[in-house]
Amino acid sequence: MSENEIYFFNRKSKKLEKELVYGDKAIKFIYTNPLGSLFGKVIASKWVSQIYGGYQDLALSSKKVAPFIKKFNIDLDEYEPGSISSSLKENSYKNFNEFFIRKFKPTQRSFNCEENIMPAFCEARYFGHEQIDHHVKIPVKGQYLSAAGLLGNSKWSSVFEGGPFLVARLCPVDYHRYHYPADGKTLDHFQIKGQFHSVNPLALKAREDIFIVNERRVSILDTKKFGKLAYIEVGAAMVGKIIQSFDENNPFNRGDEKGYFLFGGSTVVVLGEKGKWAPSEDIVKNTQQGVETYIKLGDEVARLGSNL
């Protein structure tokens, strides 16, 4: 198993699977090659991501859809078609971004409704641990995942220090809408300006501070069952925009769509109050081995109470 290969545990298949990485050659060059590192700051700048993301809005970018589907073996039967009427669903998307933010058909995913279980808020590869401390590697050194670092030393940092956390990494091939994991209301929300590094594990190994230097959008949620949550959307290389599709002035329900990422893989981090809940056992076990757990939208990712 090469150190430049990425493997994750698929909960459904119960197998360790190799990830087919979009743009893997570029990522390896930028983050593992001394020459490539010279371009790192430029690639991670906001204007580069916005320009590249803007291209995905052009009609010309729709030509990328069919080859992308074929290369990554995406099952379009799970998704709603795009806005263009076509006998072939891959031709129904007016541009690549419309395909990128495609929605699941209503029957394809359901949210676990047991009150003591937190359902997956993204369809993604998850790391998780019962608490943030300096001994945790997920997959980087724990100090870079402190509540203060992730929240930009905001007034909310102390609420989440030492609490549980989940990191959900979305690849470009994934469903790119994210959801609320529980009923509740939004107490606060704010933007933290930053860079746009890749959140690929290869990049994280090379730059341990990515989660605290990348641009982030934070929502502080007050949920009925899981206490206060810090819901953090992390920008990444070539992410054109982070869109909030839900009106945060209104209360939300478990499973409601919160927002979506335009082109580019990205990450959602959720922090909790100490002892309030704990990530699912398989996530914690795989995390301790440095392996992400791939979980379908709506399936269990955490339970009330602590395993500590």
Position 191 scores a pLDDT of 87
Return d(Cα 281, Cα 284) in angstroms, integer. Answer: 5
Position 201 scores a pLDDT of 57
Position 29 scores a pLDDT of 47
pLDDT < 50: residue spans in the chain: 27, 29, 42, 44, 47, 140-143
Q: Decide if 221 contacts 207 (C-beta within 8 A).
A: no
Position 135 scores a pLDDT of 57
The model's pLDDT over 224-272, given as tens digits with 9 standing for 90+, comes to: 999 999 999 987 655 557 889 999 999 999 999 999 988 766 889 999 9
Position 308 scores a pLDDT of 54
Q: Spell out the residues 6+ positions from residue 269 whose beta carbon is closer than 8 angstroms to its own.
A: 150, 165, 166, 167, 168, 211, 230, 232, 234
Position 34 scores a pLDDT of 58
Return d(Cα 152, Cα 32) in angstroms, integer. Answer: 28
My answer on whether omega of the bond before 106 falls inside 30° of 0, hence cis, is: no
